């Protein structure tokens, strides 16, 4: 394990203090439940785009992708073609229906939007999506807390203490400032992430190009294992399998991540959406290039040092400590914490909104009047509770965290993706039965496919989402909704 010096630690701690101050500033903007969960139309499009991208890529962009590029080489780029391409598709195609749907229905959560757009308000339509949200996001939240502990370990701090420090900070500003605090801290983190992934690999690349005897491609070829090939040295059918597995990340952005969808719900107007498309595209392309380039430069310049062999996700910390001065290195290492924090605060807010708004307010306490202060107390209590559950899982269930994370991404977008895509673009054909089928079949197939070891044959990302779509369509055709019957049933139930 590489160790950081005092100046490096000062840079990282200074950044964390800045994040805390921004989060506390955000608390002054929260006066209602709409502010807490959606920002109350106070947030510009460029900020929502940066928040969505930093939340969507998380520590995976700064730790996972450089490590994978170091290990596999140029073929890593196809993963980012899938993720960056999906992000662009989502902002161009999905942002408008999410924004317009929120304004039409007054919903403050993605699940609420789904329910309000359907001609039925059956409890299962809130409870099942809320359960899927809670189960799969707990793994994500726990994994991000663990990632924070790993970074603190670089400073010689016990990883358990690092997990607690990160968790307490994120829970505190999410509890106080909700969505607004989350977005503005995400903006700060997005700038730091792009700084880290442009400055460090840029310095290394310019230095390499200045040496006429040095060749990045030649260096990769010398390491073997197809690292200098865009397809990892594969040919024929194997190339199609590689492309299919990596480009399948596109599915995740077809309305499949609630913590990203809520940023589109928060858009104020068409101009904000257009700005968000540009910002998200530029940020996504620059950071993708930087993350892959960093991993390639690590392989060419340093080969396979012990720290990277032991854990390939240590590529960025290793390169920062080897090639940057103390305080600047600390700021760059804080970029990893930034990525992790920007994801976990978003997921924490979405999970708490599902628990408080969709389950407690609209199912358990349906029909009862609440003051705005009472709603805020419930929302903040849910945020605190879910944050503590995530912290507990991270501290005592590390194996459970990695198991849940292996399910999480696909489990979420195999349910939410079909539901929102069909809701927006299949219009009135999607029924209550179709939504329930998507939220049951998609996650179930995800868990079973991984549990039986089938991912070694075909990635679950190519299996569960199409089956989730098929289940929703078939169920909607077999049990189409009856608007009059459903609404009259809802009214009579409310009267009883």
- Looking at residue 365, its pLDDT comes to 76
- CA-based R_g, the chain, Å: 23
- CA gap 210, 214 in Å, rounded: 8
Q: Superfamily for 6-384? A: Sodium/glucose cotransporter (1.20.1730.10)
Rounded distance, CA 45 to CA 99, Å?
Answer: 12
CB 131 within 8 A of CB 124: no
End-to-end CA distance of the chain: 64
* Contact call for residues 145 and 123 (beta carbons, < 8 A): no
Phi and psi torsions of 435, nearest 5°: -65, -45
Angle at 138 between CA 134 and CA 141, to 5 degrees: 130
Which two three-digit tokens encode residue 151?
Answer: 């970074």
Residue 479 backbone zone (phi > 0: left; psi -120 to 50: alpha; other: beta): beta
Q: In angstroms, rounded to a whole number, what is the distance separating the alpha carbons of residues 23 and 19? A: 6
Name the residue with tokens 């502010």. Answer: 35
- Give the tokens for residue 419: 């539901």
Which residue has 């910002």 as its token pair?
A: 279
Angle at 419 between CA 415 and CA 425, to 5 degrees: 145
Nearest of 408, 371, 338, 455 to residue 135 by alpha carbon: 408
Cα–Cα distance for residue pair 344/174, rounded to 1 Å? 10
Among 28, 50, 51, which residue's Cα sits nearest to residue 349?
Answer: 51
CA distance 189 to 306: 30
Q: Per-residue b/e over 89-108, b at no fewer than 16 CB within 10 Å?
A: ebbeebbebbbebbeeeebb
Identify which of 3, 8, 55 has the alpha carbon closest to the alpha carbon of residue 332.
8
Cα-Cα-Cα-Cα torsion 173, 175, 180, 186, nearest 10 degrees, comes to: 40
Q: Considering only CA atoms, which of 21, 88, 3 is closest in space to residue 53?
A: 88
Helices then strands, counting H and E runs in the chain, come out as: 22, 0
Choose among 351, 373, 354: nearest CA to 364: 354
Structural domain boundaries in the chain: 6-384
Asked if residue 23 lies in contact with residue 172, where contact means CB atoms within 8 angstroms, the answer is: yes
Distance, CA of 451 to CA of 175 (rounded, Å): 35
CB 38 within 8 A of CB 262: yes
CA distance 156 to 480: 60
| Rounded Cα–Cα distance for residues 32 and 34 (Å) | 5
**What are the structure tokens assigned to 4, written together?**
């950081």
Tens digits of pLDDT across the chain (496 residues)? 555 556 566 666 777 777 777 767 766 777 777 777 788 788 999 999 998 988 887 767 887 888 888 888 888 888 888 888 888 889 999 999 999 999 998 888 898 899 888 877 788 888 899 889 888 887 778 777 877 776 777 667 777 888 888 888 878 777 777 788 788 888 888 888 888 888 888 888 887 777 777 777 777 888 777 888 888 888 888 888 888 878 888 877 888 888 889 999 999 999 999 999 999 999 988 998 899 999 888 888 888 787 777 777 778 888 887 887 767 777 777 767 766 776 777 788 888 888 777 787 777 777 676 666 777 777 778 888 888 888 887 787 665 655 666 678 888 989 999 999 999 999 789 999 999 999 999 999 998 998 888 887 888 888 999 999 999 999 999 999 765 444 444 444 444 4
In angstroms, the CA 419 to CA 439 distance is 8
Sign of the alpha-carbon dihedral angle for 58, 62, 65, 71:
negative
């Amino acid at each position: 394990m590489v160790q950081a010096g005092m100046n490096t630690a000062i840079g990282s701690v200074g950044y964390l203090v800045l994040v805390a101050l921004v989060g506390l500033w955000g608390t002054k903007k929260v006066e209602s439940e709409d502010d807490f969960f959606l920002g109350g139309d106070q947030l510009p499009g460029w900020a929502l785009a940066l928040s969505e991208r930093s939340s969507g890529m998380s520590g995976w962009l700064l730790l996972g992708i450089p490590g994978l590029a170091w290990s596999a080489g140029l073929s890593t780029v196809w993963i980012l073609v899938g993720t960056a391409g999906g992000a662009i598709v989502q902002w161009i195609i999905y942002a408008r229906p999410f924004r317009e749907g929120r304004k039409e229905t007054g919903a403050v959560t993605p699940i609420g939007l789904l329910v309000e757009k359907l001609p039925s308000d059956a409890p299962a339509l809130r409870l099942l999506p809320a359960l899927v949200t809670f189960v799969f996001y707990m793994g994500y939240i726990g994994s991000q807390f663990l990632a924070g502990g790993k970074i603190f370990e670089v400073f010689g701090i016990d990883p358990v203490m690092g997990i607690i420090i990160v968790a307490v900070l994120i829970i505190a500003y999410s509890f106080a400032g909700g969505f607004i605090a989350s977005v503005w801290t995400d903006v700060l983190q997005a700038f730091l992430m792009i700084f880290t992934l442009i400055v460090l690999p840029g310095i290394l690349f310019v230095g390499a190009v200045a040496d006429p005897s040095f060749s990045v491609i030649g260096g990769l070829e010398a390491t073997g294992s197809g690292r200098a090939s865009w397809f990892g040295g594969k040919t024929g059918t194997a190339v199609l399998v590689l492309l299919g597995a990596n480009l399948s990340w596109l599915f995740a952005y077809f309305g499949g991540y609630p913590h990203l969808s809520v940023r589109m719900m928060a858009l104020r107007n068409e101009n904000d959406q257009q700005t968000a498309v540009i910002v998200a595209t530029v940020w996504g392309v620059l950071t993708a290039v930087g993350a892959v380039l960093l991993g390639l430069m690590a392989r060419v310049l340093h080969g396979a040092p012990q720290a990277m062999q032991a854990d390939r996700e240590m590529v960025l910390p290793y390169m920062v400590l080897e090639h940057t001065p103390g305080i600047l290195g600390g700021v760059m290492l804080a970029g990893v914490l930034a990525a992790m924090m920007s994801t976990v605060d978003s997921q924490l807010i979405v999970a708490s909104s599902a628990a408080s708004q969709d389950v407690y307010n609209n199912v358990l306490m349906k029909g009862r009047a609440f003051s705005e202060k009472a709603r805020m107390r419930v929302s903040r209590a849910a945020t605190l509770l879910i944050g503590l559950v995530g912290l507990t899982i991270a501290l005592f269930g590390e194996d459970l965290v990695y198991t849940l994370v292996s399910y999480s991404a696909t489990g979420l977008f195999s349910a939410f993706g079909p539901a929102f895509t069909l809701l927006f673009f299949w219009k009135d054909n999607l029924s209550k039965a179709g939504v329930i089928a998507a939220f049951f079949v998609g996650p179930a197939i995800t868990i079973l496919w991984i549990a039986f070891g089938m991912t070694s044959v075909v990635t679950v990302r190519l299996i569960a989402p199409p089956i989730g779509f098929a289940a929703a369509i078939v169920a909607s055709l077999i049990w189409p909704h009856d608007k009059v019957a459903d609404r009259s049933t809802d009214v009579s139930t409310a009267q009883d």
